[in-house]
Amino acid sequence: MKFRSVSNPVTSTPSGVTSPKRMSMRVAEWLLDSPRLGDSPSVKHLAGRLLKQPAREGVVAAQSRLGQLMCRECGNARDRRIGHELLRQAARAGDHRARQALGEIED
């Protein structure tokens, strides 16, 4: 019996589905931009966790948002230093918000 190579519709990804990395970015941005939710420390913590993996993978928007969050909200010097480095990476990649945040921090 000869088998044809047919893509399995169950395991193939439909074109309209958003990747998990992009989805976590969108949820984190929504949480941080929400007027009522964005002020809560637990929501900021959750958004930071959602942004961590995309930032590690080099997503510039994630680096910028996580860097801003870490520089503004974290109490210890290590986290602020990591946030500063994330902002530098995003600024080098051309992110305007990261450049602006770096300018505010360094002044």
pLDDT in tens, 76-91: 999 999 999 999 999 9
Q: Can you tell me the mean pLDDT for 56-80?
A: 92
- Name which residue leads in pLDDT, 55 or 22: 55
The answer to whether 33 and 47 are in contact (CB under 8 A) is no
Residue 8: its pLDDT value, please? 52
Q: Is the pLDDT of residue 9 over 90?
A: no
Cα(54)–Cα(70) distance, integer angstroms:
15
Q: How do residues 15-54 score in pLDDT, each as one tens digit?
A: 554 566 678 889 999 999 998 888 889 999 999 999 999 9
CB within 8 Å of 25: residues ≥ 6 apart: 50, 51, 54, 59, 61, 62
Q: Which alpha helices (DSSP H) does 1-107 contain, by range?
A: 20-33, 41-56, 60-73, 77-92, 96-106
